[in-house]
A and B are shown apart, each in its own frame.
Chain A
Amino acid sequence: MIALVIQPSSEADLEEPILEVEGLSVVRSGKLVIQDIDLTILKGEFVGIVGPNGSGKTTLLLSILGILNADSGQIKIYGSKPMSKNLDGKISWVSQAASNLPSDLRLTVRELVELGTLNRSNMFSRRRDKQQVDQAIEMVGLKDVENTDIGRLSGGQRQRAVIGRALASKAEFILLDEPLVGIDRESRSSLLKLLDDLCHDADKTILMVSHDLAAIRQTAHRMIYLEETIKFDGDTSIFPDLTELAELRGIKPVHDEVHGHHHHSHKGAGEDL
């Protein structure tokens, strides 16, 4: 469904670094989770981070956002420290929480997306930028269901709504943590297509974490393999295959591929890390 688009390096003229991470190490509850991370992301890039469970993917994202503190190293987003005031409206975060919103919550797509427009300077004002909200709903293709309670949407639509919320802030740099979890195969393809469009047509920079290697490989320009440290960072076209990955990780592969159709499986088909 989605062709692997190899972009001619049109990014060359926009070599503006959005994110610069240097020598980052983070300790969580006494355990070193990530260490010595160096990472630069340029404007317009679509970067996928993969790695097994507990390899520090989410920790890396949370540190970039400033929710977790770095134990050493430094992080700069648009030249500022995480959580600083001048980042308002520039970065946006799509967490895993989308799939586990409170079950007794009655909230329409529109109400959810509106929340994305809040920031430090307008949070006490009653006025919401309607155009911004309309645009975000349009972008994620939920115009038809904008007044529907999100509890009644499919997993894929709900995830789109959450992404719509992130877009409503007009953020240029979007970080996503496992946005493909709990979504069926078809919605996953169209979600990836949406992210791809956001990157190419709407000039967003995207950093996405997933354990679904096959899916992320279809869309990301650049891949990072993280397991405590960055073990691979490069163009998606040269991302190592599973055997090489196993060597990178220093283990022998047991199952190379996951075959068969996963009927209603939450993970879906694909190479699962």
Chain B
Amino acid sequence: MDIGEIVLAIISPILEFISPIVPGETFPYFFTMELFQRALVSAILVTIIAGLMGSFLLIRNLALIGDGLAHVSFGGVAVAIVLGATSPLWYALLFSTVAAILIYEMQSRELLTGDASIAIFLTGMLALGLVTLRIWGGGITSDIHSYLFGNILLIDSSSLNLIVLISIVVIVCLAAIRPILLASTIDPLAARVQGLPVREVGLLFSILTAAVVVSMVQVVGTLLVTALLVTPAATAQFIGRSFRSCLIWTQVFGLSSVLLGLYLSAELDTGSGSMIALVAAAIFAIVATFQFVNKPNSQA
């Protein structure tokens, strides 16, 4: 049995236990039917790891790398579909990992400054995907559509398996490197003087980002990954007063966005990814407004 199915088997009774108090007409299916449960578990896992990454992406000034890598992974998905692969996400993982490594190297060797390397990979690989599909794949089918905008109900057991695997690896790695990552983000030179492996940790972080992005592709879609990767972490920074509290607030905002987004999309019959992104943005807007009203000039 796959690890994904094991996790689902453990969580499924809990979801069923909660289901009687879940509001809505369609939304309770997420707690009772296996297909929907798989979607819910995936969405929650992805949100947790995206939030963890997001807090670091923000302070590393890499808010847009998620978007870039998501487009790269779309290129991977397109190639996989044309080749008739059964699990396109593995191709996406390969493509975005390679891109993440190359982007990291270009930035750290200062071959290209700032976001330029991200922009080039983003457009280049998206274009590769589109051209490949047009010539060999019969254009944008509904299958492709689900990778662009996310379709949580298309998450099959092999996708869930990959998502669970990525989540475990990301959580274990981030827990291990968190202090080193923080030290090398704040002051890379001081971290090197301390004897910390700044370069290696930066590279590992890039690879983990690529993995997280791939895990998100079916949940929110390549076009919307930033919604879960960056928005909750950015919202948390309005409220958190320490790095630790920001991590917690990020989870609060991320999980609220996902649950509320899934609820609204189920009840209003909209796409899940876009509704999650919209809710995340709305929460950001509300918290930001409160901040402006409360202390108009605190940063001055």
Q: Which residues of A contact B (CB under 8 A)?
A: 62, 65, 67, 83, 85, 87-88, 91-95, 97, 101-102, 104-108, 111-112, 114-116, 118-120, 123-124, 147-149, 165-166, 169
Contact = CB atoms under 8 A, between A and B. Distances in A.
Contact of A111 (B180, B192, B237, B243): B243
Interface string B224-267: 00000000001001001111111000000000000000000000
A104 B241 contact: no
B186 A107 contact: yes
A104 B193 contact: no
Contacts of B194: 88, 92, 116, 118-119, 169
A62 B241 CA distance: 33
B196 A149 contact: no
B61 interface: yes
B242 A107 contact: yes
Contact of A105 (B59, B176, B189, B193): B59
Given A94-B190, A106-B246, A108-B243, 9 more contacts: A85-B195, A92-B193, A105-B59, A105-B243, A106-B243, A107-B186, A115-B179, A116-B194, A118-B183
28 contacts: A65-B192, A83-B195, A88-B195, A92-B193, A95-B187, A97-B190, A101-B186, A102-B59, A102-B61, A104-B234, A105-B186, A105-B243, A106-B237, A106-B241, A106-B246, A107-B182, A107-B242, A111-B182, A115-B179, A115-B183, A115-B186, A116-B194, A118-B180, A119-B195, A123-B196, A123-B197, A147-B242, A169-B194
A115 B183 CA distance: 6
The 5 closest A-B pairs by CB, nearest first: A120-B195, A93-B193, A115-B183, A108-B242, A97-B187
A95 B190 contact: yes
Contact of A106 (B180, B189, B190, B245): B245
Contact of B186 (A93, A102, A119, A149): A102
A154 to B, nearest CB: 14
A75 B199 CA distance: 24
A92 B180 CA distance: 16
B58 interface: yes
The dominant DSSP class at the B interface is: helix
Given A102-B59, A106-B245, A118-B179, A67 B240 contact: no
B244 A111 contact: yes
A148 B240 CA distance: 11
B240 A106 contact: yes
B196 A120 contact: yes
A5 B182 CA distance: 39
B156 to A, nearest CB: 36
A101 B9 CA distance: 45
Given A95-B190, A115-B186, A149 B242 contact: yes
Contacts of B177: 124
A118 B196 contact: yes
Interface string B54-66: 0000110100000
